[in-house]
Chains A and B, each alone.
Chain A
Amino acid sequence: MNLEHPDRFVARHIGPSPDDVRAMVQTLGYPSLDAFIDAVVPPDIRLRRPLNLPAARSEPEVLSALRAIASENRVFRSYLGMGYHDTITPAVILRNVLENPGWYTAYTPYQAEIAQGRLEALLNFQTVVADLTGLEIANASLLDEATAAAEAMHLTQAVTAHDGGHVYLVDQACHPQTIAVVRTRAQARGIELVVGDPEEFRFGPGVIGALVQYPATDGRLADYRGLCQAAHRAGALVTAATDLLALTLLQPPGEWGADVAVGNSQRFGVPLGYGGPHAAFFATRDQYKRHIPGRIIGVTRDRAGRLGLRMALQTREQHIRREKATSNICTAQVLLAVVAAMYAVYHGPEGLRRIAERVHRLTATLAEALRGLGYEIAHPAFFDTLAVEVGAERQPRILDAARQKGINLRVLTPTRIGVALDETVGPDDLRDLAQAFALGRALPEPIEVIAARDPRAIPPELARTSPYLTHPVFNTYHSETEMLRYLKRLEDRDLSLTSAMIPLGSCTMKLNATTEMLPITWPEFARLHPFAPREQAAGYARLFRDLEAWLAEITGLARVSLQPNAGSQGEFAGLLAIRAYHRARGEGHRTTCLIPQSAHGTNPASAVMAGLTVVVVKTDAQGNVDVADLRTKAEEHRDTLAALMITYPSTHGVFEDSIREVCRIVHQHGGQVYLDGANLNAQVGLCRPGDIGADVCHLNLHKTFCIPHGGGGPGMGPIAVAAHLAPFLPNHPVVDLEITPSSGTVSAAPWGSPSILPISWAYIALMGPDGLAEASKVAILNANYIARRLAGHYALLYAGRHGLVAHECILDTRPFKASAGVDVEDIAKRLIDYGFHPPTVSFPVAGTLMVEPTESESKRELDRFCDAMIAIRQEIREIETGEADRENNLLKNAPHPLADLVADEWDRPYSRERAAFPHPATREHKVWPPVGRLDAAYGDRHLVCVCPPVDAYEEVVGR
């Protein structure tokens, strides 16, 4: 008898049962799944063997394996600072947000009507950032503090462009990883970086701006008013990299003259996670709002005049502006921004101030204790970080004594030690610290006695006097019951994978299995500081090693870098590697990047960031790369050709037959092939980028490898490269990754966002080589099943071999504009009434819908979706035949919120019943949109990006 437990994860991850698969394959006219896949994937690129990966393991087995890995990590008390501080995640937020699929499985809030909950949470985040930094407008998170600082430099360059300057000044007391990332970005864009002491900054001709750290990396507090005045006189901008907790006590940058403030919101309740994910913030003055990178949430109104929220100023983004975009940032850190915002909601302004004051007093108490031991505190003004002058002889002994007590301290200089405290620190920790510094001597005074004197070290001229977080949302939910209900109320406004399929094309909304998610909040993964000594992170090292090897095997490439924090950052890192490679061969003049018309907008935006010039390659009528045009352009630019960026299967959802030839043409003319791995979900186990001809490929771990989308982040965008590019992968200034010469640093943390890597590790371990291939096959089957079921109702825009698509399909809804006055938007919003999240709207082709079901959706759910789409087609037909009004109809008025449906007056030419319950399943369950169709133009014309006053809601209700 077989003694193994019968439960198999593969069958839990893949939606359709074996019987369903057989039936679906038959519907498509093929004898078997394998025969079907043979027809879809071009034979010349097929991988004819199983991936060389460990065999599939069960869920309990994988959890114990991860427990074993976690136990190799050692959680010290890390007082290393540098933008990362231990924190207490309120349990109510930990369980109901961070560990809650209602929050973590949602997508970026493109469909605002069913995303009001997290949009409100993000508006809270923006309000926290704007209030605490003293600036007018903030965005809804960036990837990390270092890239946020780099984005501030790009904003500075954009708004001072007319002056022709190219010199950027950077405070030497910025965190080292920030300086490294800013330097890498500056080099790519031809900006000259001058790193030095802000006291000596001179804003002469050519200087566009400056970056200072407030408080500095070594804790020093300085007054930058004079510096700002000098900068502004010269037409330059000042950016402050700062700390939200410190700003509850310190005069905010906006008040002392800074134009931009950036930083990490991690210490607002987000676990350290050995470097991430955390939400960085970005705030600036109103006049620069059109240059802000990333997503901004704004207030608008719906048809009935009700207040509603949606993403504002979308025209800045790369999906519209492409190579002229302000930034390539796309996926951000929504889930972590929500956690940070909720931390502020839960504690409120008074609670935050008390936490900050306690941390400050503990630090000042420690400073007194150390002075009592005869040490000099290098900077008398500080918030929570001390630079202690100990001398070269004592330094190693103190570090060692601390380590004996399970404490990590920072080596600032050969004679100085840095100590950064946080909210988890208590009197016992302070005693341990003082004893480590005492080196066996007795403390002259007990800690309590010093603390009783209430020492402080914030100079009065830098103390905060202005109020913050006065909005009721930060002054209401302070009991756990109130907080729990607030979180639940917001969660219930949103459509996540917990209620229905999210068939967003190019987004891969597959299962984020609970077993994969469990380890991320284990303390051994969650509480490690990114710059803790490497011997304390042996478990992480093993995890990285495994994952790098597995991803290399899956992509057929030689080496992997886990550093990039999102696909966009992977693109940037990959292109930098390509540039560095050309340069190393004496071909630095290779700066032309070919990009097909159909490419995702991040491709051209990243190419420009990497200092490349974009040349667009045409797409033919079938949506494929026009090979003749590619050949012409490659030949024309053969002397400067650096790279081709191509997505495979194509952004049009097709396995292009010509892919090998395309790669050959580019190589022939001296270029490198960058394969955008956004669609890798259709390739795993079937074909490999490296075998096809790619030199670099990024992988969206938040698509193919199950990291949840978190409502718009976190993501991970590691890159895999061929051997000749391996020496040019990213390195890190604090943790040497032993890569030379490298092409710089692209993220604040050496391995990006380590605490979510157990998710992808678990997925690969659970699926094994056969399961992964099976997932790709069923993803392709599900897409083709939908295409077939909707044939005759909607035209399929593109298909590949044998009329089949890859893992997604584009439905052409453009003809309904003429036949019924119906826009693609109307169909999308009507699907909300059916309880579904709409597919991707107008990407990659304007006016169309792109559907990607993934392998995780069952046949039952696919059928329910197809039924809804067919029913909507019938509703359109009623308009076409004149049975329904062209303006006042089910589609134009969609979505229908409850408030509309229960209103006393109902003057619409269709029943409430049809509006609300168009499909029997919707009676049983559906997510109700809390608002009707939102007016995006109104919000962009009247931009409000902080919590509106409560009476703004009342005014509308009173109408």
Chain B
Amino acid sequence: MSKIPEDLLYTEEHEYVRKTDDAAVVQIGITDYAQGELGDVVYVDLPKVGASFGRMDVFGTIEAVKAVSELFCPLAGTVVEVNTALEADPSLVNKDPYGDGWMIKLRVKNPAEFDQLLGSEEYAKHIGE
């Protein structure tokens, strides 16, 4: 069973959204289930600070040894911070997907879009756990 923290929101494409102290900014990464399916992550291609995305636009790619997957932006918004630690150590995504393995922080454009994300139970059902 993979970890699915109750206080996070999710997409069907296996990204999670964590609310931060700043109500307008969220932290985004991929779920424990996703990192397990991908296997050893070797590279994460992330956008630059200031880049803007629409909801479910591709914001980057993640490469494991045998697979490449696109990363989808759960909410429309602008990137305010990128986890540069992943450049040196992409395995953080495997070791700690919800903590040190986070990917971007996003200033959310339209808070109403939160309603379209999945709760932890819905996500668990989605991945069949």
Contact = CB atoms under 8 A, between A and B. Distances in A.
A936 B90 CA distance: 14
Contact of B40 (A314, A321, A937): A937
A941 interface: yes
Interface in A38-65: none
Contacts of B91: 937, 941
Contacts of B85: none
Interface in A312-343: 314-315, 320-321, 324
A941 B42 contact: yes
Given A321-B68, A937-B42, A315 B63 contact: yes
Interface in B64-89: 64-68, 89
A293 to B, nearest CB: 16
Contact of B65 (A290, A314, A321, A324): A314
Interface in A429-485: none
A640 B42 CA distance: 39
A109 to B, nearest CB: 16
Contacts of A320: 66-68
Contacts of A936: 40, 65
A320 B61 CA distance: 13
Contacts of B89: 941
B66 A314 contact: yes
A318 to B, nearest CB: 11
A938 to B, nearest CB: 8
A936 B65 CA distance: 7
Interface in A903-947: 936-937, 940-941
B66 A940 contact: no
Contacts of A324: 68
Given A290-B43, A315-B42, A940 B68 contact: no
Contacts of B63: 315, 940
Interface residues of A, number: 11
A394 B21 CA distance: 85
Interface in A519-560: none
Interface string B19-51: 000000000000000000001111101000000
A100 interface: no
Nearest to B67: A320
A71 interface: no
A842 interface: yes
Interface in A269-318: 290, 314-315
Interface string B79-111: 000000000011100000000000000000000
Q: Which of B66, B67, B91 has the most CB of A within 10 A?
A: B66
Nearest to A935: B40
Given A290-B43, A315-B42, A941 B90 contact: yes
B105 to A, nearest CB: 22
A290 B90 CA distance: 15
B60 to A, nearest CB: 13
A605 to B, nearest CB: 13
Nearest to A842: B66
A353 to B, nearest CB: 38
A466 B68 CA distance: 39
A314 B42 CA distance: 11
Nearest to B68: A315
Interface string A672-688: 00000000000000000
A940 B67 contact: no
A290 B66 CA distance: 15
Contacts of A290: 43, 45
Contacts of A842: 66
Contacts of B67: 315, 320
A940 to B, nearest CB: 4
Contacts of B40: 936-937
B6 to A, nearest CB: 28
A521 to B, nearest CB: 39
A315 B42 CA distance: 10
Closest 6 CB pairs of A and B: A937-B40, A940-B42, A315-B63, A936-B65, A315-B68, A937-B65
Given A315-B66, A324-B68, A941-B42, 5 more contacts: A315-B63, A936-B40, A937-B39, A937-B40, A940-B63
Interface of A: 290, 314-315, 320-321, 324, 842, 936-937, 940-941
Interface of B: 39-43, 45, 63-68, 89-91
23 contacts: A290-B43, A290-B45, A314-B66, A315-B43, A315-B63, A315-B64, A315-B65, A315-B67, A315-B68, A320-B67, A320-B68, A321-B68, A936-B65, A937-B39, A937-B42, A937-B64, A937-B65, A937-B91, A940-B42, A940-B43, A941-B42, A941-B90, A941-B91
